[in-house]
Amino acid sequence: MKISYPVFKSLVALSLGTLGVCMSEFSIMGILPEVAHSLSVSIPDAGHFISAYALGVCLGAPLTVLMARSRPLRSILLALMLVFIAGNTLTALAPNASMMLAARFIAGMPHGAYFGVASIVADKLAGRAFSVLAVSIVVSGATIANLVGVPGATLVTQILSWRVAYGIVAGVGLLVIIGVRAWVPRLPGLKDTGFRGQFRFLKFPAPWLIFLAIVLGNGGMFCWYSYISPFMGKVAGIDSVHMTLVMALAGLGMVLGNALSGRLSIRFPPTGIAEGMLAVMGTALLLVFFSGQHTATALALMFICTACLFGVSAPQQMLLLQNAKDGEMLGAALAQVGFNIGNAIGAYCGGLSIAAGHGYGSTALIGALLAAAGFLLLLGYARKYGSPILGD
């Protein structure tokens, strides 16, 4: 059995949406100093724009469940893209820091819900045997965003303005609407178990273990990666004119990490893949703390970290979906909620450490500790629920 061409086209259309939302989310990390200067705030304060986006993700997922849980899946995707376009248009036009916070919050609202609904559609179209592979194809849009879109936004910022970059991001939303309408088939809505029914699976410990592992693992990565531009400039000694290439290298790591995860899913369970990726990520972050001042080492470790960041994404997405009986839409979206709560916590903790005078390198040490905690939670999930670990 293979993924058919019509199904593959649908997955490509869905991946265009993840490309758009991840361009919106990640572009700011490569241009944070420029945004901070333009809006007359410090870099640690500009980190709050990242947190505002993440908080929008956290509200958007349950709000989508409340308003659209039984509607046709394609219609939900299209509505979410309209919110995405509005949020990123407001970002491009924001005149001050307060408006920027509001714009980033709105832009984040469709993120988790889009990933969640797209994952459900991918699972239904491809079948359970190829579900992780199908979701990894959807997630590949996010990796391409970081390989091409984010460096492109960095380059546009250097040549023109960060506002033009976010105007382009808003334009991607229009392409997503066209692609989804053309290639994604009409699917019925999910069974309406009621709003409370959607949350019933959260009575059990398994989804919480996975969710907290996502929060801590992503928090560890973004404690450091949220400040990747100033870290590479002030610690690793890379000139700002080379940040486009640095972000492209980070994006390449994401592409290869996601592709590796999809390949591994044919042989290993999602729990084992996620465990392995988090273990490597935590080790790499620890090495960043000790040797990130060496340019080549810093770049290599960044590549490894970003590979693990997206290598863990699809497996954890499927783990929550598989542990969300009668609440699949919320379960799938909760993975992205967890990722973005982690982003917010990570960016906040990193900003506190920098503001306290511990330097940009300290963020990697805090990140390593958070990633280790996430690994231990996944290990506990595997031991309690019988999922084999990588290599068993």
So where are the chain's domains? 5-385
User: In the structure encoding, which two tokens stand for residue 276, read together?
Assistant: 């392995």
d(CA 234, CA 7): 46
Domain 5-385 fold: Growth Hormone; Chain: A; (1.20.1250)
Torsion of CA 375, 377, 382, 388, to 10 degrees: 0
pLDDT score, position 57: 84
Q: How many H-runs (helices) and E-runs (strands) does the chain carry? A: 17, 0
pLDDT score, position 1: 45
pLDDT tens-place string over residues 273-324: 999 999 999 999 999 999 999 999 999 999 999 999 989 888 888 888 788 8
pLDDT score, position 128: 63
d(CA 230, CA 236): 9
Please tell me whether the overall predicted TM-score, pTM, comes out greater than 0.85 for this model: no
| Residue at 344: amino acid letter | A
| Residue 160 reports pLDDT greater than 80 | yes
- The DSSP string of 174-202 is HHHHHHHHHHSPP-PPPP--HHHHHTGGG
For 152-172, b/e burial (b = at least 16 CB within 10 A) is bbbbbbbeeebeebbbbbbeb
d(CA 149, CA 23): 6
d(CA 59, CA 222): 20
Q: What SS3 state is found at 391?
A: coil
Q: Which residue has the higher pLDDT, 135 or 75?
A: 75
pLDDT score, position 284: 96
Phi/psi of residue 360, each to 5°? -70, -30
d(CA 31, CA 16): 22
User: In the structure encoding, which two tokens stand for residue 77, read together?
Assistant: 């995707």
Length of the chain: 392
pLDDT tens-place string over residues 127-150: 665 676 787 788 888 878 878 888
| Residue 49 reports pLDDT greater than 50 | yes
| Residue 391 reports pLDDT greater than 70 | no
Q: Which residue has the tokens 């992780």?
A: 132
For 120-132, b/e burial (b = at least 16 CB within 10 A) is bbbbbbbeeebbb
Q: What SS3 state is found at 340?
A: helix
